[in-house]
């Protein structure tokens, strides 16, 4: 369904990103989420649109080095080979009725069919363009690595009610490859600036123009949750 949507309506509907949630994010950015998420990431890469993870910081596990160290739950195989639901009463011809209070289980696979039924899959960090948290957007450095210090430092400093000064280092996770006269998402989210943040290396074209040339609009200085950060990221 998602593949057909992007192929047939991706351009006409200006679909520029796929956004998913996360059950667990490893230190390197590898993300475990419901089965099928990895396929969506590959789909987004093929269609040259952004793949973003929206998740609270509580899902980030810095003690887990990568997705290879994430244990994946495997569900019972019969969840794939059987189906359960209300039965139809066909005792009266022409007057079939659904028996909502009576269910039955049927097989939808041939006898002795085996199934592999993982509940989650792991999307490698290489396919993820940004991780949107309630404290800001974590993007990749020039070396292609996610840097968490910005959002986690904000969280720790918030307890002491101290504002973290904006970093201007070129290797800051939210400050890399920023065009002249523009600012990072980190700076925009921490200030009341009306300058438009950079989309870093998005290299996407919407209606014949680069996304990072969107018209200047103010950015709300306070971002209290993931949804607000997401809205700020896309300038909604």
pLDDT, tens digit, 9 for 90 and up, residues 84-98 = 998 888 777 777 788
Question: What average pLDDT is seen over the chain?
Answer: 76
Mean pLDDT of 6-25: 94
Does position 159 have pLDDT exceeding 60, yes or no?
A: no
Domain closes at, from 128, 153, 171 = 128
CA dihedral sign of residues 155, 159, 162, 163: positive
Whether residues 46 and 35 fall in one domain: yes
Asked if the structure places residue 133 within a domain, the reply is no
Asked if the structure places residue 16 within a domain, the reply is yes
Does position 154 have pLDDT exceeding 80, yes or no?
A: no
- 121 classed as catalytic: no
Mean pLDDT of 126-143: 91
Domain closes at, from 117, 151, 183 = 117
**Number of domain units in the chain:** 3
Asked if the structure places residue 236 within a domain, the reply is no
Whether residues 181 and 209 fall in one domain: yes
CATH number at residue 31: 3.40.50.10470
Judge if pTM exceeds 0.85: no
Structural domain boundaries enclosing 29: 1-67+119-128
Whether residues 8 and 59 fall in one domain: yes
If you average pLDDT over each of 62-66, 173-177, 190-194, which comes out highest? 62-66
Whether residues 148 and 94 fall in one domain: no
């Amino acid at each position: 369904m998602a593949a057909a949507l992007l192929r047939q309506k991706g351009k006409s509907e200006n679909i520029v990103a796929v956004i998913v949630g996360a059950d667990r994010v490893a230190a390197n950015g590898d993300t475990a989420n419901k089965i099928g998420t990895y396929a969506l990431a590959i789909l987004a890469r093929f269609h040259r649109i952004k793949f973003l993870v929206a998740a609270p910081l509580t899902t980030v596990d810095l003690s887990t080095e990568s997705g290879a160290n994430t244990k994946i739950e495997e569900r019972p195989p019969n969840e794939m080979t059987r189906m359960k639901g209300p039965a139809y009463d066909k005792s009266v011809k022409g007057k079939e009725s659904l028996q909502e209070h009576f269910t039955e289980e049927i097989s939808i696979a041939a006898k002795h069919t085996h199934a592999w039924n993982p509940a989650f899959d792991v999307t490698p960090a290489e396919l993820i363009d940004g991780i949107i948290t309630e404290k800001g957007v974590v993007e990749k450095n020039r070396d292609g690595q996610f840097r968490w210090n910005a959002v986690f430092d904000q969280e720790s400093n918030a307890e002491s009610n101290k504002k973290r000064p904006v970093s201007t280092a070129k290797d800051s996770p939210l400050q890399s490859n920023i065009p002249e006269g523009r600012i990072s998402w980190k700076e925009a989210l921490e200030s009341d600036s009306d300058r438009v943040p950079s989309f870093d290396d998005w290299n996407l074209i919407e209606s014949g123009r680069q996304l990072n040339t969107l018209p200047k609009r103010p950015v709300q200085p306070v971002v209290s949750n993931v949804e607000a950060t997401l809205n700020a990221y896309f300038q909604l």
